[in-house]
Amino acid sequence: MLAGKKILLVIAGGIAAFKSLDLIRRLREQGAEVTSVLTAAAEEFVTPLTVSVLTGNKVYRELFDLTDEREMGHIELSRAADLLVVAPATANLIGKMAGGLADDLASTLLMATDKPVLIAPAMNVRMWLHPATQRNVAQLRADGVHFSGPAEGEMACGEYGPGRMSEAHEIAEAVSEALADGPLKGKHIVITSGPTHEPIDPVRYIANRSSGAQGTALARSLMGLGASVTFVTGPATVPPPQGAKVVQVETAAQMHEAVFKALPADAAIFAAAVADWRVVAASGSKIKKDGTGKIAPLNFTENPDILAEVSSAPQRPGLVIGFAAETDDLLKHAEAKLARKGCDWIIANDVSPETGIMGGSENAVTILTAAGADALPRMSKDQVAQQLAARIAEALT
């Protein structure tokens, strides 16, 4: 979350400038205050009025605009922000930054700032690969500038290759990472969340009622303490957390692969309601009624136990946490799971229908560790997330 953070967004002249409008929306949704500076060339691609409406702030345009200079000079403008973001960062502006040139408002405040800078390069593939650009990029990396992208793909000019600006959500993630602060700064945490869908045929699947709410809330709380989060999620009903690296999967097998790919991590938290079984050979075409009034029995096989495998893997994170959603004998089953899975903590909750917990907004959890059980009172899933995040921070620091 970026609540209260001030971001100065420099928009340089490139066709990718249209993506910066979406970036403004995403940053503001997370609570950031955005002020924008447009280079003269940027105004060929987006209008100052649009940017001003979207940021809800004045747009700064010319270095020698005396009114602006009196109101807020370039030094002050560059220092009032917590982070400077340049998106799109053109080859020209990257060159100026690397060379220390200051001949317009954007380049001047990038020289004058004492705050971290994040750039999202956007240019033609040849320009990106040009030795001059690569030299400048190496210089900026050495200067501690953060980068988002560029990505590889088709370009507005019709060519293909690296140079495409990152998508708005990727830049928003990089902003969160660059600004992350708190006891978990520098820690990488992998979280699984949501249900998995196990296909029967191309149109049918086996699922469960998990909404992904608790895993999402936990990701947000951990990022709020400075963690960088890889969020591996099945098809959940709540939207994934902004600012996390989100990996969307459908089946348990895909979740298994994504989790191992995301390692190493300082902690791994398994909040997903993973389907225990999958259909052995899902049909490639839709299963039709055959007139007998019966369906041929489905054969099932067990899915990999991701939590148990990570707990015993050579790349095991220092802290591994599982969840136990039970309808009977909560503590007995949860204790058995703690031992069987080889994890450090089990977060146990009663998901009997009368509790309204599965798919609801509240939760009542008991934290089981080798030291014993600690039952928290019933509270919102956001509050549970905050309590758990605080304990995780304590354990990791």
The answer to whether residue 307 forms part of the interface with ligand CTP (CB under 6 A) is yes
The Cα–Cα gap between 244 and 305 comes to: 24
Residue 322 contacts ligand CTP per CB under 6 A:
yes
CB 276, min distance to ligand CTP, A: 5
Query: Which candidate in 53, 138, 157, 203 is catalytic?
Result: 157
Contact between 264 and 188 (Cβ < 8 Å): yes
Task: Give the separation between CA 140 and CA 229, rounded to whole angstroms.
Answer: 26
C-alpha distance from residue 138 to each of 95, 145, 147, 282 (Å) = 11, 10, 11, 49
Query: Is 343 among the catalytic positions?
Result: no
Q: How far apart are the first and last CA of the chain?
A: 21
Return d(Cα 38, Cα 13) in angstroms, integer. Answer: 8
| Residue 323 binds ligand CTP (CB under 6 A) | yes
Residue reference for tokens 């980068």: 147
Residue entry with tokens 């004998």? 329
Q: Which stretch binds ligand CTP (CB under 6 A): 87-95, 210-218, 319-327, 353-361?
A: 319-327
Q: Closer to ligand CTP by CB, 164 or 256: give it.
A: 256
Shortest distance, CB of residue 190 to ligand CTP, whole angstroms?
A: 11
* Cα–Cα distance measured from residue 228 to residue 23, given in angstroms and rounded to the nearest whole number: 19
What number of chain residues touch ligand CTP (CB under 6 A)?
A: 15
CB of residue 202 to ligand CTP, shortest distance in Å: 23
Q: What are the backbone angles phi and psi of residue 117, rounded to the nearest 5°?
A: -125, 135
* Residue type present at position 335: E
Please give the C-alpha separations between residue 240 and each of 56, 212, 257, 287, in angstroms, as whole numbers: 26, 8, 19, 33
Do 390 and 224 contact (CB within 8 A), yes or no?
no
x/- map, 171-200, ligand CTP, by CB under 6 A:
---------------------x--------
Which CB atom, from 53 or from 336, has the smaller least distance to ligand CTP?
336
Closest contact distance (angstroms) between CB of 325 and ligand CTP is 5
Query: Which residues from 267-306 bind ligand CTP, rule CB under 6 A?
Result: 270, 272, 274, 276, 303, 305-306
- Minimum CB separation of residue 391 from ligand CTP in Å reads 16
Alpha-carbon span 397 to 137, nearest angstrom: 34
Tell me whether residue 65 or residue 302 sits nearer to ligand CTP (CB atom): 302
DSSP run (H or E) holding 340: helix 330-341
Residues 233 to 272: which contact ligand CTP by CB under 6 A? Answer: 252, 270, 272
Query: Looking at beta carbons only, is 76 or 329 nearer to ligand CTP?
Result: 329
Catalytic positions, please?
157
Interface contacts to ligand CTP, rule CB under 6 A: 192, 252, 270, 272, 274, 276, 303, 305-307, 322-325, 337
